[in-house]
Amino acid sequence: MQSSANKILVSFFTAVFLVFSFSVSYAGPPKKVYTEDEFLSAFSGKSKKVFTDKLGKPFKTGISVKPSGASSVMMSAGADEKKSKPVKVEMWYYKNIVTYDNKRTYKETEITFVNDRAMNIAFFNNR
């Protein structure tokens, strides 16, 4: 009888260990959280590659679209589109990576890239 009780006990602890090991191994690395100043110092003017290397892929992306009629407005203002270089504007969004006090993080961080460089960084709680 004692042998079967030991087997049950060993099986129970083995199962608990396996469940614990599975949950720990798939939890992933802890996510780094930055203060506003740390984030701006680390990422202002950096390339998309720096962001993906340090933060991973964004949860959402967006591409800027030129409004209809913008060309005629620009030409009437004296701009020459034939001489200007094309500009690609893209926005990336990350969640809960920047703190604004000891206990709370911004819900969303928006990075605006112009031709692969971070040109604007904004922090939001109201989206």
Helical spans, DSSP H, in 1-59: 2-25, 36-43, 48-55
pTM, rounded to two decimals: 0.66
Name beta bridge partners: 98. Answer: 34
User: What are the pLDDT tens digits along the chain (127 aa)?
Assistant: 555 655 554 454 454 444 444 444 444 455 789 999 999 999 999 999 999 999 999 999 998 877 777 677 767 777 666 667 778 999 999 999 999 998 899 999 999 999 999 999 999 998 7
Structure tokens at 13: 């602890």
Classify domain 31-124 by CATH number: 3.30.1450
Domains of the chain, by residue range, sit at 1-28, 31-124
The predicted-structure confidence for 38-64, as pLDDT tens digits, reads as follows 999 999 999 999 999 999 999 999 988
